[in-house]
Structure 1
Amino acid sequence: MDDVLLRAPLVPPTDTLRRDAPVTPEEAQRLRDLPPEAYWLEIARHLDWITPPERGLDGTLGDFRYFPGATLNVSVNCLDRHDPHRVALHYEREDGLRETWTYGRLTRATARFAACLQDLGVTRGDRVGIYLSNAPEAFIAIQACYRIGAVYSVIFAGFSASAVRDRLTDAQPKVVICTDATLRRGRPVPLLSTLREAMTGVDSVGAVVVARRVDRDAPLQQGEHDFHALLDAQTRHAEPVPVEANEPGFIIYTSGTTSKPKGLVHSAAGFLVGTYANVLWSLNLRPDDVYWCTADVGWLTFPIFALVGGLAHGATLVVYEGGIDHPTPERPYALLERYGVTKMFTAPTALRMLRRAGDDAVARHDLTRLQLVALVGEPLDPETWHWTQGTLGGGRIFVNNTYGQTETGTAWASSMVGLTPTRPGSCGEPLPGYRAQVLRDDGQPAASGELGVLTLSEPFPSLARTVWGDHDRYRAVYLSDHPGHYAASDAALMDADGQLWVTGRVDDVMNVAGHRIGTMELEAALTTHPAVSEAAVVARPDPLRGTVPVAFVVPRAGTLPSPALEAELADAVVQGVGRLARPDRVVIVSTVPRTRSGKIMRRLLRDLLVTGDVTGDLTSLENPEALDVIRQALNAPD
């Protein structure tokens, strides 16, 4: 990686965030120095337990328990213990529908819906499918599962019937909760009809509960129940069930490519403890904060930073359903201004989308209450970091890039907000309670600045415990490459100050003529060019050099593609990274394939580049037309 990036000045916390820091710098250092087991026992004391933990860790990676014998209820910690008059949710849909929910109202609805689930036969340990959009019903349904000890399984609302069926077949839920449809860029996206098709051959489901939000009069079939009719008729409030700290809380599936999706199992209490700490350090949410997490409920970022971790801190959450840039790219600014958002959690791609819309849009909105923008999901280029801090934030905010995975249940690398600095483009440092190592291929620790495989050497409460129904697969995927370490195939390095740089999947590290190069640094070099809105670099096999980089570039508005621009961009990579990294080709395109969260699907770019076709799971692809755009660009004469 370019030494200029690794040696850029560290950026300290802002005065506002330093003043409001949750602990003193001395206390933060004490926590960082604690052994993980002692640290997690201290964090656990922040929460309300029915049977408090007396012990921390029991076991090792692959077979461990945290806080054995202790019991709590997640919904009590997320709802009941907060001021019932405080606003919990400001909900808004892209067509303008708005709702406000206090903690008291949300708690009562959750307890009543939990009773509805019990009346439908759901008991402790039963699975419940959650096929919902970013709507209040998602909070009610998931917290209701926590309240009665049911194990929920979130299914992303953008999946096809086939992908939904795979997940239902594996989890075998007794009840599925869905919305009739969701809105996306002005069009209804049917969920109920997709679910009906997906349930063919799935015999475990005894009832479907439908929250009719788009078509209030949508007809229901046998075995389907109206969410709000059940809720309105229910007078009983389910009592919170004590749940042992290592009992399963939920199953979340990784997207399949060529193999069956993995149903990762997280414990309820372990996830709560981990996300509570994650939000404490990465956001320092306070009761007077208004906070917007832009993620989709179907991806784990939303439960970590909003649905569980966010509610556990009692903040006011903004919940948005739909495309955040619809009907115009100014929609996010309008939301930030309307609700007086103080802290925001999003993805680098969303920020690049805002930047592409131009800076004039920022100036038309009052964003002066914004203090912090936190990020996760993919590598962050320094150019986007500086635009976010300087233009979006007016030079007064802190930009906190973080790193985590579905498997880890937290974004475990981050700045401790108000306490520790960051370096633009990095992911901060490993938070207290985590022991990270970057390893070489031979298993030895990598040197400072040396690219290797990112691993964790000790268990922690929010780490996924198994793959549902297939623990051997869990061990083979995560624990076999580097014995004694958890590894999920991400490439990374640590700089001289201990800042973590995650460059992407191990597959995205190219070996060019014997030199290992991460795609992140090439993309960062491209986005520094004033004509570039965003860039994605993938590797193409080469008989002479092993692999060579190929760049896909989306230009800024008003920029016309030309051979001269392609040459300029190739030169920008040479200047930023080195002559060895010069792209074999620069492909200028109007769009690239994305997930609904805006993340570029580099896997599909690689498929089109190497084979001319795409394989694997396409259900999270939002813009299928991008595939034809890429094909045409690749087939165009040089």
Structure 2
Amino acid sequence: MWKPEREHLEESNVAKTLAERGEPLEKFLEYTYTGDFWSWFESHVLGLRWARRYEKVLDLSRGVQWPRWFVGGFLNIGDQVEESAQPLVKWEGEDGSAAEWSYSYVLYKARAVASWLKRAGLRKGDRVAVYMPMVPEIVPVMLGIIRAGGIFVPLFSGFGREAIRIRLEDSEARFVFASDVSYRRGREVDMLAELEAGLAKSVEAVVLHARARERKDYVDLGEVFRTGGDYVEVTEAEDPMMLIYTSGTTGKPKATVHVHGGFPIKAAADVYFHFDLKRGETLTWVTDMGWMMGPWLVFSAYLLRGSMAFFEGAPDYPKDRVWKFVERFKVKVLGMAATLTRHLRTIGAEPGEGAGELKAFGNTGEPIDAESWWWLHKAGRGRAPIINYSGGTEISGGILGCYVVKPIKPTSFNGPSPGTKAAVFTEDGKPAPPGVEGELVVLSVWPGMTRGFWRDPQRYLETYWSKWPGVWAHGDAAVVDEDGYFYIVGRADDTLKVAGKRLGPAEVEGVLNSHPAVAESAVVGKPDPLKGEVPVAFVVLKQGFQPSEELKRELAALAEKALGKAYGALEEIYFVKELPKTRNAKIMRRVIRAILLGKSPGDLSALENPTAVEEIKKAIGRQ
């Protein structure tokens, strides 16, 4: 296992905190489950600037499902830094171009964005979507929206038109900031065409980051930056400042609601205590702003007065790009999904000298395999810990992580993240004995909890709070060993994790079902050595249509076009006459997946049509 050295035991953020408090890690973690901890953290570590200080740290009068934090406090998280020449953003393009933007420069642009939005008629609480790749401009755009009192709605830069349309319509975004193109693997990707095809009626103005060519029919982002201004909206700690969409097992994608006094503070706490980021150090996570780790990267580096480094384009173009990037920008913390780590290892992208200067690796998105864990261990010369980190968009960071004052077993989590009292429950709602698989739960409340799903509070309650009274059931299958180390073993529900990104089957099914030949479909996940999981579709055709390879290609292309290659690429499509369903017409995806993987489908007593099981077996050749 990885073992801490003297610097970890004496100089790390968590070590110094434990020394100041005169208590062991386990006792300190108990303290993080209280409101007192979060009051201490925001004031003594972050030094947040309050327009009016809060009267009460935590209010649970509406129950644990709906906590209110920093009650009565006025806080705008987009207005938290002073001007400084220190770099906030470090960036690299796929062609090798680079940029470094100071705190002062980012702040100047963020102020301009906020002022322009206010002049354009933005009202407090209006939604503003952002559809841009990982370019430096995305940071002041994000902070400017929040500074103006708007609600930032990040969209994955690889989304296709249908995925864009659904999210714009659901959020009723009034403004969209977008790039006309992105660059990946030496190709120019036309993002504007996808946006134009997916625009919702609610959108009143598009602000365009024109990179390839001038467009007079849109507001120019460069002009917005040049308008200047210093507007900042007065907002409360509980005012929404961001909606991030995450897919569920049924229905449309759900927007998690995050507030000024929530997500950013939780993200910063995790980075401070897990990843040991200190003032002026550089944090990198290979991600996109449309996924949770994008805003997480921005908020944590920004509030901890560090630097964030990110790049546009593919991390394996060329294959050693990640390692050269680490060396070029003197990165101290490098975070990647296990999928990417496995891929780099597979293609022989051996870490360079810069990897040895890292103080920590981060892994998130899905469980990391032992071989990849040891590969990173070697890359960091045995000194840099691999901080396994798992939580979610609804959490604002981690439920589980690793602390550098304690040994780390390969692929494990050596403790709960700050504020999240984690446990593993069996189906009877009791703690699972060591070595017994159960469901990961949280028995505390914390500022980063989503404030429900956008305009759908009942769905939020059903998703996380309906399994056991007063317990957050997260949907991850997990195990705790005899030493108290946690391990994630997969998803407890039907949600897929494709390359570390959550994908709801209903999102893909909706696209497939829009084809005139398709009556209905079901999508399940199949394990993949590179991506962790890949989507497989089972399709029922309408009367008069026949299965064919041509139709299969049509459906695959439809999914890719609507959802994007990274998101909607189907591994396989099988045609069947019927899908297994319950009496209330719910498709039994767990049954389909079990058959696909050659496992027992379990109890089939709830099936209305048991013959559908034979249909699935026949389609995949298991009869």
Normalising by the smaller structure, the TM-score range is: 0.7 to 0.9
Contact 2:434 2:480 in 1 (8 A): yes
| Distance of 1:629 and 1:97 partners within structure 2 | 41
Letter in 1 for 2:283: Y
SS class of match (1:173): coil
TM-score normalised by length of structure 2 = 0.79
Give 1:70 deviation, angstroms. 1.1
Check 1:552–1:111 CA distance in 2 against 1; reply closer, same or farther (3 A cut). closer
Check 1:12–1:243 CA distance in 2 against 1; reply closer, same or farther (3 A cut). farther
Range that drifts further, 471-480 or 621-630: 621-630
Indicate the residue corresponding to 2:273 in structure 1: 281
CA distances 1:169-222 after superposition (whole Å, capped 9, x unpaired): 1101111111111112222222211111111xx222111100112x042x343x
| Distance of 1:62 and 1:367 partners within structure 2 | 42
List aligned pairs for 1:230-379, cutoff 5 A. 230-232=224-226, 234-238=227-231, 240-255=232-247, 258-304=250-296, 306-326=297-317, 328-358=318-348, 361-363=350-352, 365-379=353-367
List aligned pairs for 1:118-517, cutoff 5 A. 118-199=118-199, 202-213=200-211, 215-217=212-214, 219-221=215-217, 224-232=218-226, 234-238=227-231, 240-255=232-247, 258-304=250-296, 306-326=297-317, 328-358=318-348, 361-363=350-352, 365-390=353-378, 392-416=379-403, 418-507=404-493
Give 1:108 deviation, angstroms. 0.8
Give 1:442 deviation, angstroms. 1.7
Check 1:617–1:300 CA distance in 2 against 1; reply closer, same or farther (3 A cut). farther
SS class of match (1:85): coil
Contact 2:254 2:454 in 1 (8 A): yes
CA distances 1:18-47 after superposition (whole Å, capped 9, x unpaired): 443112434363532324222222222233
Check 1:33–1:488 CA distance in 2 against 1; reply closer, same or farther (3 A cut). closer
Contact 1:25 1:419 in 2 (8 A): no
TM-score normalised by length of structure 1 = 0.77
Give 1:275 deviation, angstroms. 1.2
Contact 1:127 1:150 in 2 (8 A): yes
Give 1:311 deviation, angstroms. 1.3
List aligned pairs for 1:46-125, cutoff 5 A. 46=45, 47-48=47-48, 49-59=50-60, 60-77=63-80, 80-81=81-82, 84-125=84-125
Contact 2:536 2:570 in 1 (8 A): no
List aligned pairs for 1:608-619, cutoff 5 A. 619=563
- Alignment size in residue pairs: 525
Contact 1:400 1:428 in 2 (8 A): no
SS class of match (2:153): strand
1:627 aligns with 2:571: yes
RMSD, matched Cα: 2.9
| Distance of 2:405 and 2:312 partners within structure 1 | 33
Give 1:637 deviation, angstroms. 12
| Distance of 1:623 and 1:64 partners within structure 2 | 34
Contact 1:273 1:461 in 2 (8 A): yes
Check 1:158–1:625 CA distance in 2 against 1; reply closer, same or farther (3 A cut). closer
SS class of match (1:601): strand
Give 1:429 deviation, angstroms. 1.0
Contact 2:133 2:157 in 1 (8 A): yes
Check 1:109–1:447 CA distance in 2 against 1; reply closer, same or farther (3 A cut). same
Check 1:636–1:340 CA distance in 2 against 1; reply closer, same or farther (3 A cut). farther
Check 1:154–1:216 CA distance in 2 against 1; reply closer, same or farther (3 A cut). same
Contact 1:41 1:53 in 2 (8 A): no
| Distance of 2:432 and 2:58 partners within structure 1 | 28
| Distance of 2:443 and 2:195 partners within structure 1 | 40
Range that drifts further, 89-98 or 100-109: 89-98
| Distance of 1:607 and 1:12 partners within structure 2 | 47
SS class of match (2:571): helix
Check 1:453–1:607 CA distance in 2 against 1; reply closer, same or farther (3 A cut). farther
Contact 1:255 1:617 in 2 (8 A): no
Check 1:113–1:279 CA distance in 2 against 1; reply closer, same or farther (3 A cut). same
Contact 1:36 1:432 in 2 (8 A): no
Give 1:636 deviation, angstroms. 10
| Distance of 1:436 and 1:473 partners within structure 2 | 23
Letter in 2 for 1:20: E
CA distances 1:223-269 after superposition (whole Å, capped 9, x unpaired): x201002222x13222x333211111111111366521111111121
| Distance of 1:157 and 1:73 partners within structure 2 | 26
Letter in 2 for 1:38: D
Indicate the residue corresponding to 2:544 in structure 1: none
Which segments of 5 or more consecutive residues in structure 1 lack a partner in the other structure?
A: 1-8, 510-549, 555-591, 593-598
Check 1:33–1:466 CA distance in 2 against 1; reply closer, same or farther (3 A cut). closer
SS class of match (1:303): helix
| Distance of 1:624 and 1:153 partners within structure 2 | 21
Indicate the residue corresponding to 1:532 in structure 2: none
Check 1:97–1:626 CA distance in 2 against 1; reply closer, same or farther (3 A cut). farther
State the identity as a percent.
27
Letter in 2 for 1:166: I
Check 1:421–1:73 CA distance in 2 against 1; reply closer, same or farther (3 A cut). farther
Which segments of 5 or more consecutive residues in structure 2 lack a partner in the other structure?
A: 496-524, 540-546, 576-618
Give 1:428 deviation, angstroms. 2.6
Check 1:242–1:420 CA distance in 2 against 1; reply closer, same or farther (3 A cut). farther
Contact 2:269 2:418 in 1 (8 A): no
Contact 2:76 2:234 in 1 (8 A): yes
List aligned pairs for 1:22-33, cutoff 5 A. 22=13, 23-26=16-19, 27=21, 29=25, 30-33=27-30
Check 1:177–1:61 CA distance in 2 against 1; reply closer, same or farther (3 A cut). same
Letter in 2 for 1:450: V
SS class of match (1:411): strand
Contact 2:399 2:442 in 1 (8 A): no
| Distance of 2:435 and 2:388 partners within structure 1 | 19
Check 1:119–1:24 CA distance in 2 against 1; reply closer, same or farther (3 A cut). closer
| Distance of 2:574 and 2:285 partners within structure 1 | 31
Check 1:617–1:53 CA distance in 2 against 1; reply closer, same or farther (3 A cut). farther
| Distance of 1:552 and 1:380 partners within structure 2 | 13
CA distances 1:527-562 after superposition (whole Å, capped 9, x unpaired): xxxxxxxxxxxxxxxxxxxxxxx98666xxxxxxxx
